[in-house]
Amino acid sequence: MTPKAVEQLLTQDARLLARRDAPVIDTELEEQRQAALELFFQWQDGMREFQDLMPFCVVLQRKVDLNRDLLRWERRHED
């Protein structure tokens, strides 16, 4: 995964997936996303290696891939 793909995953795809049942947030998924996002910020600050993100991103990407159709529908129907 590239840094741009990771950023898309963490700030868009996984975020939308965690909120698909709004106003209820999938807290488990959101906690995973937040942990990965914190590592991403630490990588941007030069405090972590990009590879440290990969275990989190692989899990999140699998969940996003499994729900891709739902994400597409939600994006089309955003206000």
Contacts of 38 (CB under 8 A, 6+ apart): none
How many separate domains does the chain show? 1
Measure Cα distances from 33 to 38, 45, 76, 77, 79 in Å. 9, 18, 23, 23, 23
* Residues 64 and 71 sit within 8 Å (Cβ to Cβ): yes
Indicate the range of 5-9, 25-29, 33-37, 45-49 predicted with least confidence. Answer: 25-29
pLDDT at residue 76, as a whole number? 86
Task: At 59, list the tokens.
Answer: 């899990």
pLDDT at residue 22, as a whole number? 67
pTM score of the predicted model = 0.79
Query: Domain range spanning residue 25?
Result: 3-76
Indicate the range of 8-12, 25-29, 34-38, 46-50 predicted with least confidence. Answer: 25-29
pLDDT at residue 73, as a whole number? 81
